[in-house]
């Protein structure tokens, strides 16, 4: 208990001291603060230790002095009682003490002897007979040893010994700390002005954060952004992953630094399929530019799409004919979001059908040209892609050079995930973000151009989806046709499940099974 309370008290006073230091040493980093604090603490301890040790040495010297003094007194007495010759005898018996007496009688000689002893014997050793073979023999062999012993092997010598040991320890510690501090300051000065790395969860050695990734990356990454902020760093084995989860950070990546971030970093699985040489996986460069030109201007341009309309029409008409043959029976509609969301919101389906009746009528079939006159259906498509973007993290981008996003350093070659899924559900941008409400897109500024970084289901910048025009036509045309031709309800015993499954594209976890009921009066319209 006492231990706990002591340690709590220490923690408390330590944290108080540290916060005081932090407040009063503005501009000094934590490591320097630690360095100077430790040096300060050492200095205080050192001064106190030296003072204490000196006191001890003085006391010891005093004891030695008084012992010798006593001896001197008794010898004087003997001298007085027995006469000079007896003393000579006694001195002969104990020549060492005679010399000690002589030396002590003259303090400057004693200091000189002590100094000489320090040089020859040192502060960490005791005097040995062998030492007297050197200069001490000037004084006399036996006497020199006696003086050395009385002055050097006494308590004060031991104190000197300890003092010297601690001096060396202190000096070593200060040097080690100074080297660390200097290295730290050197690294800091080299990194001066450079932005810090983005925050992120700690990983394991070698594998980093990989073992902690969850299958639904888009929602897991959104969770990390809630903890660490709009720019997060992950260590994915040897690869650095950067999560971008705010409209302003997305703008920096996809617009302000579009060309820097226009390289791709497609995961190995994707590379195995395409070899990384297709339009999606290719780095920004001449080959990609050529592929993109062919795609956008030749294969997927509006003019080309118009030319191949008959192919799309045939495809859609075959589907209608199949659905008509299955009327009243459960049909596997697949994993696509769009129909699932209808068939879930009956009032939305009614409104869309009403619009179709007004624009197309009940005695004709939908043609692709109609889709531009169906704003409510377009709003439904936009709202579906807001809540369920087909590529929730876009296709990973990669910077071709070191750069910054926000205040953070982003290293060249990392894998950047822009979480459109999370941005599309940001409550600071969208009212009731989880509610499916196409009305929010009626007469709104949001489109598929990628100009607005609150809403960009097709990406943005130079790597924006090359098939936006085709996707818009295909989705609107097929949905308009299926809604115009049939009423839809969920098959009996089946539950509507909008749970998503993260993959190359976002799909429904469980495919929808629904029952179509024909709603057009002329049977020929189903051929």
Interface residues toward ligand HEM, by CB under 6 A: 279-280, 292, 295, 300, 385, 389-391, 394-395, 457-459, 463-467, 470-471, 475
Nearer to ligand HEM, 415 or 463 (CB): 463
Q: Which is nearer to ligand HEM, 315 or 357 (CB)?
A: 315
Q: CB of 300: closest distance to ligand HEM in angstroms?
A: 6
Q: What is the dihedral sign for C-alpha 325, 328, 330, 336? A: positive
Q: Give me the residues paired with residue 226 across strands.
A: none
Beta carbons within 8 Å of 379's beta carbon, 6+ residues apart:
438, 439, 440, 441, 442, 444
Check: CB of residue 300 under 8 Å from CB of residue 473.
no
Cβ-based nearer residue to ligand HEM, 54 or 313: 313
Question: CA nearest 240: which of 123, 457, 402, 77?
Answer: 402
Nearest-approach distance from CB 395 to ligand HEM, in angstroms: 4
Question: Exposed, middle or buried: residue 310 (CB in 10 Å: 0-12, 13-18, 19+)?
Answer: exposed
> Rounded to the nearest whole angstrom, what is the least distance from the CB of residue 341 to ligand HEM in the complex?
13
Shortest Å distance, C-beta 182 to ligand HEM: 46
461: left (phi over 0), alpha (psi -120 to 50) or beta: left
Name residue 243's beta-bridge partners: 232, 417
Q: d(Cα 183, Cα 188) in Å, to the nearest integer? A: 8
Comparison of 117 and 385: residue with beta carbon closer to ligand HEM? 385
Question: CB nearest ligand HEM: which residue?
Answer: 467
The nearest distance, CB 392 to ligand HEM, in angstroms, is 9
Least distance CB 480 / ligand HEM (angstroms): 15
Q: Which of residues 200 and 457 has its CB atom nearest to ligand HEM in the complex?
A: 457
Report the residue number, 352 or 465, with the smaller CB distance to ligand HEM.
465
Alpha-helical runs (H) found in 419-503? 420-423, 468-485
Cβ nearer to ligand HEM, comparing 117 with 390: 390
The beta strand positions in 209-250, using DSSP E, are 231-236, 239-244
| Separation of alpha carbons 47 and 44, rounded Å | 5
**What is the per-residue DSSP string for 136-201?**
GGGT-HHHHHHHHHHHHSSHHHHHHHHHHHHHHHHHHHHHHHHHHHHHHHHHHHHHTTPPPPPP--
Contacts of 110 (CB under 8 A, 6+ apart): 103, 104, 151
Which of residues 234 and 470 has its CB atom nearest to ligand HEM in the complex? 470
**Has 403 been labeled as part of a binding site?**
no
Cβ proximity of 241 and 217 under 8 Å? no
Which helix H or strand E contains 220, and what residues bound it?
A: helix 217-228
Distance of closest approach, residue 389 Cβ to ligand HEM, in angstroms: 6
User: Which residues are 410's β-sheet partners?
Assistant: 403
Minimum distance, C-beta of residue 278 to ligand HEM, in the bound complex (Å): 8
Q: Per the annotation, where are the binding residues for heme? A: 465
Q: Per the annotation, where are the binding residues? A: 465
């Amino acid at each position: 208990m006492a231990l706990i309370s002591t340690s709590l008290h220490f923690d408390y006073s330590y944290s108080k001291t540290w916060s005081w230091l932090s407040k009063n040493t503005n501009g000094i980093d934590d490591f320097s603060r630690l360095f100077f604090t430790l040096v300060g603490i050492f200095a205080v301890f050192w001064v106190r230790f030296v003072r204490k040790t000196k006191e001890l040495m003085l006391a010891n010297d005093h004891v030695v002095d008084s012992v010798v003094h006593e001896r001197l007194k008794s010898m004087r007495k003997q001298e007085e009682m027995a006469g000079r010759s007896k003393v000579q005898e006694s001195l002969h018996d104990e020549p060492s003490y005679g010399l000690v007496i002589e030396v002590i009688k003259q303090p400057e000689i004693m200091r000189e002897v002590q100094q000489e002893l320090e040089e020859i014997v040192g502060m960490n050793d005791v005097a040995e007979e062998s030492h007297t073979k050197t200069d001490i023999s000037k004084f006399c062999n036996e006497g020199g040893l006696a003086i050395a012993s009385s002055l050097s092997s006494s308590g004060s010598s031991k104190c000197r010994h300890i003092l010297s040991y601690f001096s060396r320890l202190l000096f070593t510690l200060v040097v080690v700390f100074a080297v660390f501090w200097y290295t730290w300051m050197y690294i800091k000065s080299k990194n001066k002005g450079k932005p810090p790395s983005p925050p992120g969860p700690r990983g394991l050695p070698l594998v980093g954060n990989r073992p902690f990734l969850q299958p639904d990356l888009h929602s897991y990454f959104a969770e990390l952004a809630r903890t660490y902020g709009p720019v997060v760093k992950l260590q994915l084995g040897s690869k650095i992953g950067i999560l971008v989860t705010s409209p302003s950070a997305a703008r920096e990546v996809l617009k302000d630094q579009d060309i820097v971030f226009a390289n791709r970093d497609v995961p190995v699985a994707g590379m195995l399929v395409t070899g990384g040489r297709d339009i999606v996986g290719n780095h920004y460069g001449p080959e990609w530019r050529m592929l993109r030109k062919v795609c956008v201007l030749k294969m997927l341009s509006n003019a080309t799409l118009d030319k191949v309309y008959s192919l799309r029409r045939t495809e859609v008409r075959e589907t209608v004919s199949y659905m008509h043959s299955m009327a009243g029976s459960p049909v596997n509609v697949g994993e696509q979001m769009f129909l699932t969301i209808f068939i879930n919101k009956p009032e939305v389906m009614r409104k869309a059908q009403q619009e179709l009746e007004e624009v197309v009528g009940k005695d004709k079939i939908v043609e692709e040209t109609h889709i531009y006159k169906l704003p409510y259906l377009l709003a439904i498509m936009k709202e579906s892609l807001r809540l369920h973007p087909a590529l929730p993290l876009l296709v990973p981008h990669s910077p071709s050079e070191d750069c910054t996003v926000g205040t953070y350093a982003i290293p060249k070659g990392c894998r950047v995930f822009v979480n459109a899924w999370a941005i599309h559900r940001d409550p600071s941008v969208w009212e009731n973000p989880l509610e499916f409400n196409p009305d929010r897109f009626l007469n709104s500024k949001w489109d598929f151009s990628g100009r607005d970084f609150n809403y960009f289901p097709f990406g943005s910048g130079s790597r924006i989806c090359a098939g936006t025009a085709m996707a818009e036509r295909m989705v609107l045309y097929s949905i308009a046709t299926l809604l115009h031709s049939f009423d839809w309800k969920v098959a009996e015993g089946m539950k509507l499940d909008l749970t998503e499954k993260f993959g190359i594209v976002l799909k429904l976890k469980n495919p929808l099974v629904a029952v179509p009921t024909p709603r057009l009066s002329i049977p020929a319209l189903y051929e």
